[in-house]
Chain A
Amino acid sequence: MRQPSDADVIGRSLVEAEVFGLIYDRHAPTLLRFLGRRVGAEVAEGLLAEAFRIAFERRKAFDSGRESALPWLYGIASNLLLKHRRGEARRIRASARMAIGRAVADGRASAAAMEARVLLPRVAEALESLPDGEREALLLFAWEELSYQHVADALELPIGTVRSRLNRARARLRELLEASGKERVRSR
């Protein structure tokens, strides 16, 4: 028997609301993981509830041509994250410190540890300084491992715009990493 697609389920939920519970069962774990990565477990719980409330309210607008509802849900959750930029920045800086800690603890790879110590705080800083649209596209791509098409679906953008945002984000990161690298050299 063919599993009903998300589009089938959401369509059906227009007349039988409870079947939307299936969308929760299918995607809430992924979404909770996503939100947890971005703002930590505590805030993520509230945002998950908010995201599903919004999704349910907007289910009529779901594009029934799309098989999976996940990119759409990512988009809704991404929007909610905008209000939590500060907490997110703190979390990313802490993640950089932890990643350095891990690299340093692994004594055999001291070159890698050095590299981590220098680069990761800069990556954290650079991520923070990206415009919202670029950062969102970059993190959906790099952390959630969404395809270009799914990032485009999530952010409701043409795929070409996603491509150029990711290119810009990468270029900007590279630039910021190199610029701060030069400063270090100069200041020595």
Chain B
Amino acid sequence: MKTIELVQRLRRDAALDPAVLERGRKKFMAQIQSESVRPPQPTIVPQLPYHDIRAALEFLERAFGFRELPGSRVEDARGVVGHAMMAFGDGLIGVGGHGGHGAVSPKSDGVVSQYVSVYVPDVDAHYERARAAGARIAMGLRDQFWGDRTYEALDLEGHRWRFHQKIRDVPREEWNWDSSDPNKG
């Protein structure tokens, strides 16, 4: 007996009224607009230097899913971008020019003096997206001893990013950190 087919014979569509959808849309949009949506305001905001800010903004959005904050872009009359803010979840970064504030892009001297950790809802999916967008994978996906699953990627100019997803609780007694392991944590 084909149970699924029998179940399907009981499917009955209600008439779809376009006016209902339109009414619903109006109400919904009014609801949305009444909410004041503020950009995140975290206490700490990393500022990262790039030679090509425009390209960096585009890449960080496409590869990592960061969003440029509307109205945050500083641009001169010739269209040169000086700075912009990007949000991701409740985090925020600044994207600025190479050499400003004594900060240099890794593209110039190949030195990375820091990396930024970012928590994402699904690190495997994030990894695929970043890789498909051309991010260089510096360290592949792995489950870490403290319960996160992570990978690390370099962006267009070589800034290093580590993406995390907490996948389990590991009691501190079970953390097996080894300082001699080259891949430690």
Q: Which of B1-45 contact A (CB under 8 A)?
A: 1, 3-4, 6-17, 20-21, 23-25, 27-29, 31-33, 35, 37, 39
* A6 to B166 Cα, complex, angstroms: 24
Set B6, B16, B33, B120: member contacting A17, Cβ < 8 A: B33
A138, closest chain B residue (CB) = B7
Interface centre among B7, B121, B122 (most CB of A within 10 A): B7
B129 at the interface (CB under 8 A from A): yes
A141, closest chain B residue (CB) = B4
Query: Are A98 and B16 touching (Cβ within 8 A)?
Result: no
Q: How big is chain A's contact interface, by range?
A: 35 or more
A98, closest chain B residue (CB) = B12
Query: Are A65 and B10 touching (Cβ within 8 A)?
Result: no
List the B side residues contacting A111 at CB < 8 Å: none
Query: Are A48 and B24 touching (Cβ within 8 A)?
Result: yes
* A7 to B126 Cα, complex, angstroms: 12
Query: Are B7 and A49 touching (Cβ within 8 A)?
Result: no
Main secondary structure of the interface of A (DSSP, over half): helix
**Nearest-CB distance from B72 to chain A (Å)?**
10
Query: Are B24 and A33 touching (Cβ within 8 A)?
Result: no
B77 at the interface (CB under 8 A from A): no
Query: Are B7 and A123 touching (Cβ within 8 A)?
Result: yes
B67 at the interface (CB under 8 A from A): yes
Given contacts A37-B14, A127-B7, A173-B7, contact A28 B24 (CB under 8 A): yes
Given contacts A20-B32, A37-B11, contact A49 B122 (CB under 8 A): no
List the B side residues contacting A45 at CB < 8 Å: 20, 23-24
Interface centre among B8, B12, B35, B121 (most CB of A within 10 A): B12
List the A side residues contacting B121 at CB < 8 Å: 61-65
**Nearest-CB distance from B66 to chain A (Å)?**
9
A11 at the interface (CB under 8 A from B): yes
A60 at the interface (CB under 8 A from B): yes
Given contacts A64-B120, A65-B121, contact A95 B1 (CB under 8 A): no
Q: Which of B89-139 contact A (CB under 8 A)?
A: 89, 120-122, 124-126, 128-129
Set B8, B10, B21, B35: member contacting A96, Cβ < 8 A: B10
Q: Which of A104-162 contact B (CB under 8 A)?
A: 116, 119-120, 123-124, 127, 138-139, 141-143
List the A side residues contacting B15 at CB < 8 Å: 36, 41
B65 at the interface (CB under 8 A from A): yes
A124, closest chain B residue (CB) = B10
* A139 to B4 Cα, complex, angstroms: 9
Q: Which of A10-38 contact B (CB under 8 A)?
A: 11-12, 14-18, 20-21, 24-25, 28-29, 32-33, 36-37
List the A side residues contacting B8 at CB < 8 Å: 142-143
A52 at the interface (CB under 8 A from B): yes
Given contacts A36-B14, A95-B10, A143-B8, contact A65 B125 (CB under 8 A): yes
Set B6, B13, B20: member contacting A119, Cβ < 8 A: B6
Query: Are A40 and B14 touching (Cβ within 8 A)?
Result: yes
Query: Are B21 and A12 touching (Cβ within 8 A)?
Result: no
* A120 to B8 Cα, complex, angstroms: 10
The 8 nearest A-B residue pairs measured at CB? A65-B125, A36-B14, A65-B122, A41-B14, A17-B37, A95-B12, A142-B7, A173-B3
User: B residues touching A (Cβ–Cβ < 8 Å)?
Assistant: 1, 3-4, 6-17, 20-21, 23-25, 27-29, 31-33, 35, 37, 39, 65, 67, 69-70, 87, 89, 120-122, 124-126, 128-129
